[in-house]
């Protein structure tokens, strides 16, 4: 794989839930270190696309390559092993595990110690978690849970992080801190795929963006061009 090749190359992706055909041939490429924004109204296929890329949707078709490896038919744990971390909508923190256990359960050693996301670096980034290490996931506030979810994703030493509604339901101070952390993730050379309701912020922080409408890509390109496209407000219903 050449350094300039996309780390994720998904082509003509289709997905179904039962008899319902949800995705109708989507193409998506993400380069190393690139930030891509995924936009669209509710029910247009954003989460299904993410779940399909991660191997969670079994009724799927099309080609998905990660770092040059064909993962079109791979299971979720096989996709994760290829360096993809997922921060799910709803956070997915294990309620019966402590913060420490939630963080270290998925930890992997970094290939580059100086750039990796160690346990210490995660706690430095989210200092509040240091005080909550022995608390159970169920005892955390929504903001703390989100920090655990992001921290856990980073400790897998990913090359690509997928953030699905990472700021949903959180207060402005926490939302702002999460966007700061997303900036840190980007600065550390990790590629990101971001879904968030604050489309302006997504576009401001992304290199490229695509807008889904009824399971099809209706708008795609450099984020600054997508932001200025007169069709955007209609597609997002704003």
Partner 1 sequence: MRKAITIIKDEHRALAAVLRGLEYLIGQIRDGKQKPDFALFKSMLAYVKDFPDKLHHPKEDEYVYHTLRERDPSAAPMLDELEDEHRCGPEFIQRVATALQEYERDPSRFDAFAKAMAEYTQFQWEHMRKEEDVILPLAEKSLLPEDWTEIDSAFGSNADPLVGVGTQKEFRDLFRKVVNLMPAPMGLGPEAK
One of 43, 76, 142, 189 touching partner 1 (CB under 8 A):
142
Q: Is 175 in the site for partner 1 (CB under 8 A)?
A: yes
Q: Is 144 in the site for partner 1 (CB under 8 A)?
A: yes
CB of 204 to partner 1, least distance (A): 4
CB of 80 to partner 1, least distance (A): 27
* Distance in angstroms (rounded) separating the CA atoms of residues 13 and 22: 10
Q: Is 128 in the site for partner 1 (CB under 8 A)?
A: yes
Name the residue nearer to partner 1 (CB basis): 12 or 139.
139
Q: Tokens 């690139």 appear where?
A: 34
Evaluate whether 125 touches 153 at the Cβ level (below 8 Å): no
Evaluate whether 198 touches 205 at the Cβ level (below 8 Å): no
* Distance in angstroms (rounded) separating the CA atoms of residues 59 and 141: 36
**60-66, strands of its sheet edge to edge:** 20-30, 8-17, 60-66, 69-70
One of 5, 70, 78, 228 touching partner 1 (CB under 8 A):
228
Q: Is 141 in the site for partner 1 (CB under 8 A)?
A: yes
Q: Pick from 64, 72, 85: which is nearest to 166 by CA?
A: 85
Evaluate whether 34 touches 207 at the Cβ level (below 8 Å): yes
What does the block give as tokens for 182?
């997303």
* Distance in angstroms (rounded) separating the CA atoms of residues 78 and 90: 23
Q: Is 171 in the site for partner 1 (CB under 8 A)?
A: yes
Q: Taking CB under 8 A as the criterion, which residues in 206-225 touch partner 1? A: 224
User: Strand 160-164 vs strand 191-195: parallel, antiparallel, or unpaired?
Assistant: parallel
CB of 140 to partner 1, least distance (A): 9
Q: Is 177 in the site for partner 1 (CB under 8 A)?
A: yes
State the binding string over 37-66 for partner 1 (x if CB under 8 A, else -): ------------------------------
- Positions in the binding site for partner 1 (CB under 8 A): 127-128, 141-144, 147, 171-177, 179-180, 187, 201, 203-204, 224, 227-228
């Amino acid at each position: 794989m050449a350094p300039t090749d996309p780390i994720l190359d998904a082509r003509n992706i289709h997905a179904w839930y039962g008899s319902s055909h949800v995705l109708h041939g989507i193409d998506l490429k993400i380069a190393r270190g690139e930030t891509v924004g995924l936009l669209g109204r509710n029910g247009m296929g954003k989460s299904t696309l993410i779940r399909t890329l991660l191997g969670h949707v079994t009724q799927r078709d099309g080609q998905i390559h990660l770092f040059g490896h064909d993962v079109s038919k791979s299971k979720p744990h096989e996709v994760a092993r290829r360096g993809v971390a997922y921060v799910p909508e709803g956070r997915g923190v294990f309620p019966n595990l402590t913060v420490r256990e939630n963080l270290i359960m998925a930890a992997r050693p970094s290939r580059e110690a100086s750039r990796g996301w160690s346990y210490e670096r995660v706690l430095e980034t989210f200092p509040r978690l240091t005080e909550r290490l022995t608390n159970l996931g169920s005892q955390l506030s929504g903001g703390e849970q989100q920090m655990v979810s992001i921290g856990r994703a980073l400790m897998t030493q990913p090359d690509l992080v997928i953030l699905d509604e990472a700021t949903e339901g959180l207060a402005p101070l926490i939302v702002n801190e999460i966007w700061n952390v997303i900036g840190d993730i980007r600065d550390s050379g990790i590629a990101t795929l971001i879904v968030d309701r604050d489309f302006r912020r997504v576009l401001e922080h992304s290199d490229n963006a695509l807008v889904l409408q009824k399971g099809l890509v209706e708008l795609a390109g450099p984020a600054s061009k997508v932001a200025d496209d007169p069709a955007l407000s209609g597609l997002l219903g704003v």
